[in-house]
Amino acid sequence: MISGGGTGGHIYPAIAIAHAWAERYPESEILFVGAEGKMEMQKVPEAGYTIEGLPVAGLQRRLTLQNLSFPFKLWDSINKAKKLIKRFKPHAVVGVGGYASGPLLYVAQQQGIPTLIQEQNSFAGLTNKLLAKKARAFCVAYEGMEKFFPADRIYFTGNPVRKDILDLGAKKEQALSHFGLEAGRQVVLVLGGSLGARTINNAVVASMKHFEEQGYQVLWQTGKFYIEEMTAKLVSAGLAHVHALEFIREMDLAYAAADLVVSRAGALSVSELSLVGKPVIFIPSPNVAEDHQTKNALACVEKDAAVLLSDDEAVEGLVGKVDGLMADPEGMERLGKNIKKMGKPDAAREIVKKLEALIK
């Protein structure tokens, strides 16, 4: 059983683990458990797996009416988790973080079923920290995680990511054609997540005229909340080499086209970009628990593997960071090589090996 979700940063690693397990043990059964109404309830079936939803909800950090219902939803979720485990009889349970994983892993641990926690971030999430005492193994993507988990049960596997980004060299021409980009212009790929990031979008709006004058072209994922607003600003500016898209499905082609990437610093983004091996400017979101995106980005910056631009300086500072890197091809190459050294292309298979050991 695999449990967790709430965001793509939890869901996609979970699906990658499931794929790796199914590849090795095609006859085995896999059941996902998520939170009712959250994106995993759509994304997991799309990937070909069965999922059950729990009524669990997150605890708000401020006093709200939603918090009053939290104990009742948690109690209901624990009872449903007991019924699911009794019916499915799992040999092992994997938690990928997010409050959705709490009830299932708690019940599994109470019943002596081996549990493995996959922590994507450099700062462990609350649910994973609460479940740490009885978990048998922790598969992590960053060094120094003994601050949160017992050192003798930590395995440095990296984060599981999609396989199609592992070989981008042969896709450059296809990528330029797919997105309607010109072969002679350097490409800045801008990513703010599937929903979008207002600061990053505003930074592009403030910079896009300059970028075009400099001879760059921009491939820009605005996110679904901002596509109409950003498209209107783009049309009014009359720029031919800035391409705004709501969401980019063909991320392998987007990465292949890019000379430089501007991105948030969610754990999954950092792990993917480590495999891509392109120079990156990280603009961490300040609106996440424990400011973990900044910690993720700093883990790269400390190894001369990325550039950090704070959210509050992004609108005014993006032009300077991009121009500085574009004028320094050797520096861009160095950043790309260094971030690639941090990549873990076999993360999902390594996690499967740990699961095998727990079950045996």
For the chain, the structural domain boundaries read: 2-159+345-359, 164-341
- The mean per-residue pLDDT over the stretch 223-249 comes to 94
Is the torsion defined by CA of 17, 21, 26, 27 positive or negative?
A: negative
CATH topology identical between 2-159+345-359 and 164-341: yes
Q: Which residues make Cβ contacts (< 8 Å) with residue 298, sequence separation at least 6?
A: 308
The answer to whether the annotation marks 7 as part of a ligand binding site is yes
* Contact call for residues 314 and 264 (beta carbons, < 8 A): no
pLDDT of res. 58: 65
The answer to whether the annotation marks 121 as part of a ligand binding site is yes
pLDDT at residue 307 tops 90: yes
Q: How confident is the model at residue 194 (pLDDT cuts 50, 70, 90)?
A: low
The answer to whether the annotation marks 177 as part of a ligand binding site is no
pLDDT at residue 79 tops 90: yes
The answer to whether the annotation marks 294 as part of a ligand binding site is no
The answer to whether the annotation marks 8 as part of a ligand binding site is yes
The answer to whether the annotation marks 127 as part of a ligand binding site is no
SS3 119: strand
pLDDT at residue 61 tops 60: no
The answer to whether the annotation marks 101 as part of a ligand binding site is no
The answer to whether the annotation marks 248 as part of a ligand binding site is yes
Is pTM, for the whole model, over 0.85?
Answer: yes
* Contact call for residues 98 and 7 (beta carbons, < 8 A): yes
pLDDT at residue 195 tops 80: no
Could you tell me the CA-to-CA distances from 67 to 56, 73, 79, 170 in Å, in that order? 11, 10, 19, 51
| pLDDT tens-place string over residues 104-151 | 999 999 999 999 999 999 889 889 999 999 999 999 999 899 999 999
The answer to whether the annotation marks 162 as part of a ligand binding site is yes
- The mean per-residue pLDDT over the stretch 24-28 comes to 97
Q: How many CA atoms lie within 13 A of 121 on its CB side?
A: 23
- The mean per-residue pLDDT over the stretch 42-54 comes to 96
In the CATH hierarchy, which fold is given to the domain comprising 2-159+345-359?
Rossmann fold (3.40.50)
The answer to whether the annotation marks 199 as part of a ligand binding site is no
- The mean per-residue pLDDT over the stretch 317-332 comes to 98
Q: How many CA atoms lie within 13 A of 352 on its CB side?
A: 19
CATH of domain 164-341: 3.40.50.2000
The answer to whether the annotation marks 79 as part of a ligand binding site is no
